């Protein structure tokens, strides 16, 4: 089971990368919309589920009302392989390795991995403004975000600490390379005044 549209494409590709199985030939895929995800997990319509998730994830927490769950990490060999390297070249896609202890689960979830880390692709998002936005406005908005990073954003929800807020490493932001997006000059000024380093290729 996977959500529809682009997520379904990613899910099919991940299944093929990890297992070698092809949809229609080796298994029957089920696509449901976001609102049906919890019900589909709970009622057993699918034998396995591939879905975008946070750490921890509200959909999984709700689905656990029907029983414990198991999450499978990508195999190390696949994660470090050439094909997954190509997969993460898609715009907005990065490779994620997160300690299982930091995933935020307190019970009811078993994470299967070859070591103490969970491996998966990650989808990157961010706030986008028009290039015509004036310098001072962009700087003020970015400064407000950074000033509230610890006291507001990180405590909004259990998954926020694992959402890469305040992250500027291109390995996780997917800036530069095939991604043509750049930081607004006003945003760069705010980040750098706050002590962050913005890569030259992203300015």
* Tens-level pLDDT at each residue, the chain (203 residues): 445 555 678 888 889 989 999 999 999 988 888 788 888 888 888 888 888 888 888 888 888 888 898 999 999 999 999 999 998 888 888 899 999 998 888 788 999 999 999 999 988 888 889 999 999 999 999 999 899 887 776 667 666 666 777 888 888 788 887 778 899 999 999 999 999 999 999 99
Q: Where are the alpha helices (DSSP H) in the chain?
A: 6-19, 37-43, 58-63, 76-79, 82-87, 135-147, 170-173, 185-193
- Cis peptide bond upstream of 177, omega within 30: no
H or E element, residue 5: none
Collapsed DSSP state (helix, strand, coil) of residue 150: coil
Q: 191: which residues sit within 8 A by CB, 6+ positions away? A: 142, 146, 168, 183, 198
Decide if 36 contacts 59 (C-beta within 8 A). no
pTM (2 d.p.): 0.80
Q: 58: which residues sit within 8 A by CB, 6+ positions away? A: 157, 159
Rounded Cα–Cα distance for residues 68 and 127 (Å): 35
Rounded Cα–Cα distance for residues 203 and 188 (Å): 7
Please count the CA atoms within 13 angstroms of the CA of 64 that sit on its side-chain side: 16
Rounded Cα–Cα distance for residues 123 and 94 (Å): 7
Q: Which residues does residue 121 pair with via DSSP β-bridges, in sequence order?
A: 95
């Amino acid at each position: 089971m996977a959500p529809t549209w682009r997520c379904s494409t990613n899910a099919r590709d991940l299944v093929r990368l990890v297992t070698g199985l092809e949809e229609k030939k080796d298994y029957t895929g089920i696509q449901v919309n976001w609102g049906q995800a919890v019900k589909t997990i709970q009622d057993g319509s699918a034998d396995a589920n591939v879905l975008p998730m946070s750490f921890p994830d509200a959909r999984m927490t709700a689905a656990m009302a029907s029983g414990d769950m198991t999450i499978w990490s990508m195999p190390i060999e696949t994660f470090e392989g050439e094909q997954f390297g190509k997969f993460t070249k898609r715009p907005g896609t990065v490779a994620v390795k997160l300690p299982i202890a930091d995933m935020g689960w307190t019970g009811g979830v078993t994470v299967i991995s070859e070591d103490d880390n969970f491996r998966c692709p990650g989808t990157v998002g961010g706030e986008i403004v028009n290039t015509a936005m004036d310098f001072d406005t962009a700087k003020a908005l970015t400064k407000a975000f950074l000033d509230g990073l610890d006291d507001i954003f990180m405590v909004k929800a259990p998954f926020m600490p694992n959402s890469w807020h305040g992250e500027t490493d291109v390995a996780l932001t997917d800036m530069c390379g095939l991604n043509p997006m750049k930081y607004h000059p006003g945003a760069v000024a705010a980040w750098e005044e706050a002590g962050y380093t913005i890569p030259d290729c992203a300015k």
